[in-house]
Structure 1
């Protein structure tokens, strides 16, 4: 083969590689950003074996800088349930069933199988990238958000995670407008935008059945209280919080305080396990010591600390300790 022909072949090969790389780069960049959240989660436990594997100033998984955090943070327990990891140990299953006891619970395995015939039954994950700093805003519902004007700061994160009712309309300046992920349980469910990923925390088998019903027939209208029979949500964007992870949060982080963790604390630990950098808004009391929701006029509303189910003081103290150790950034509002 002549020299000019070999040069043409090499030039063509180089051009092909450049085009291929550029195409992959653009497909990665413009993909739906909400997919990063759960595509990224499981590889944290597999890829972060040493510190510094992100572009943040301090990565969440830097374990050797604080013994207290390292003792509690377990990378091997995955926060989201799939068909593959849905089998619970006997100990976990008994504990989980005890949380909100059912008189005649349905068969758990059958409920899981039916659920994963409706929603994605596996989660496709990509390796963590050391060039990326994944930022998350965890937005609680405290009245201390009123007048805080955190909206733009909240919306600047890669992922904005809200929970329970969490209205944004009319409160945009304080709480932002974006929601990439919304954490609920059946008794707190609301309609979702089509591009919002729903994260269901199940406290009983009936909760899994309710999600099936809420996305299809709407036949389940009551759990231990009336619930919305159907919700507007994209069934391809539904994730299930793992009961195994829930038990881990309760034992490792709360040291068995309360009956079980609050939605807010479970959401915070979810973020700690999947984000490089976590900013927390709307947790705790307002400046007058009142525990209530930012959309309520009644300052005694919410009554979070007096439910008898959650140990609000202990959860808040752990949250403050995480902030003191620079594992999260906490914005206390007004």
Structure 2
């Protein structure tokens, strides 16, 4: 009887100890887990409130969720500036905020040290200068100048606008607003005279290639830079003739007639850095690489090349006259002629839909301002 009683006491003691051990470890486990559970609950609450957003990028490296709101650090940087005042470094800062891989250093035009630019030395035209070094040297020895004019170079904060040729510019009366920009970039043969109300009268530079250049000398502005964007080796040979005021002997290889003279002194001629074609095509838009050669659907339009140039060299960037609306076939294709939207055909060299996706990212992310809202 006594032995049975002691056994019961021993079992009672063992059970009590086990209960105490269970309670101890349970309380520790709950204590250890509670901060994690609390943090998860807090994170869920913040996500629901929109205060924490997962960072995601598309295959080109752009943020997938874009808006025009300034990141907090940029709000502090630009918050005290007056309305309309130029924002130093704004385009670069906004571009970097939506595309962290963006690197600004990229000169606007080629200069005698262009061979140091490793990004273009390994590619032939249009993405680089390989095989064209000698003729480029020859041209640059004659042009002697390799930047904007001294007045523009001295401006610490530059506002630039790229004027597209789209019919969307017609009857918008943006001329006076366009002329307020420090740098006004026009493309190919788009005229100014007679359309000043809509497109302005100021031209800082006209970027073109041989087939797109104005053919009648009297239609050139009296003072602007003539800038070649070369897409083919023969484009450099054509520019050499223009710089030295020589009559081109042979015109084979161009897909349409080209200008036989450009009424500009050599000092007013420039060669656009081909890196902007390369960057726009392969990095920003994601066009086929094709071993670095011109091929089907891997050449950006000149307008997008000009915008890419401006992102590297301007503090603020705006555009006007961009965007083709294929849903309006009877709308004017260009602001200066009667050709309709229905006349446009799928291009062998361009990918308009992918290019438009890129430009929309810039507008949606607040990197550029679209005055005609066509992108």
Tell me whether the two structures share a fold, i.e. TM-score over 0.5.
yes
Preserved CA contact (<8 Å) 1:195 1:234: no
Structure 1 Cα separation of the partners of residues 148 and 171 of structure 2: 40
Preserved CA contact (<8 Å) 2:98 2:365: no
Q: What residue number does 1:138 align with? A: 162
Report whether the alignment pairs 1:331 with 2:358.
no
Preserved CA contact (<8 Å) 2:319 2:369: yes
Q: What residue number does 1:277 align with? A: 316
Q: Deviations over 1:166-190 (max 9, x none)?
A: 1112211111111111100011111
Structure 1 Cα separation of the partners of residues 314 and 271 of structure 2: 18
Preserved CA contact (<8 Å) 2:242 2:260: yes
Report whether the alignment pairs 1:75 with 2:104.
yes
* Residue 58 of structure 1: how far off its partner (Å): 6.7
Q: What residue number does 1:247 align with? A: 278
Root-mean-square deviation (CA, aligned residues, Å) is: 3.4
Structure 1 Cα separation of the partners of residues 116 and 107 of structure 2: 13
Q: Deviations over 1:3-49 (max 9, x none)?
A: xxxxxxxxxxxxxxxxxxxxxxxxxxxxxxxxxxxxxxxxxxxxxxx
Larger radius of gyration: 2
Aligned length: 276
* Distance verdict in 2 for CA 1:233–1:77, change over 3 Å: same
* Residue 75 of structure 1: how far off its partner (Å): 1.5
Q: What residue number does 1:156 align with? A: 180
Preserved CA contact (<8 Å) 1:145 1:333: no
Q: What residue number does 1:314 align with? A: 354
Secondary structure of 2:114 counterpart: coil
Q: Deviations over 1:261-312 (max 9, x none)?
A: 1101001111121111111100002595457211121213762x61121111
Report the more deviating stretch, 115-124 or 267-276.
115-124
Question: Which ranges in structure 2 are unaligned for 5 or more consecutive residues?
Answer: 1-76, 289-296
Map 1:84-95 onto structure 2 (within 5 A).
84-86=113-115, 92=120, 95=123
Q: What residue number does 2:31 align with? A: none
Report whether the alignment pairs 1:217 with 2:246.
yes
* Distance verdict in 2 for CA 1:302–1:158, change over 3 Å: farther
Q: What residue number does 1:186 align with? A: 210
* Distance verdict in 2 for CA 1:186–1:87, change over 3 Å: farther
Report whether the alignment pairs 1:118 with 2:149.
no
Secondary structure of 2:236 counterpart: helix
Q: What residue number does 2:232 align with? A: 204
* Distance verdict in 2 for CA 1:218–1:61, change over 3 Å: same
Report whether the alignment pairs 1:295 with 2:324.
no
* Distance verdict in 2 for CA 1:123–1:57, change over 3 Å: closer
Preserved CA contact (<8 Å) 2:184 2:202: yes
Secondary structure of 1:202 counterpart: coil
Map 1:5-24 onto structure 2 (within 5 A).
none
Report whether the alignment pairs 1:172 with 2:192.
no
Structure 2 Cα separation of the partners of residues 114 and 302 of structure 1: 40
* Distance verdict in 2 for CA 1:198–1:130, change over 3 Å: closer
Report whether the alignment pairs 1:229 with 2:260.
yes
Of 278, 299, 306 in structure 2, the residue corresponding to residue 260 of structure 1 is 299
* Distance verdict in 2 for CA 1:110–1:76, change over 3 Å: same
Preserved CA contact (<8 Å) 1:99 1:204: no
Preserved CA contact (<8 Å) 2:320 2:372: yes
Secondary structure of 1:249 counterpart: helix
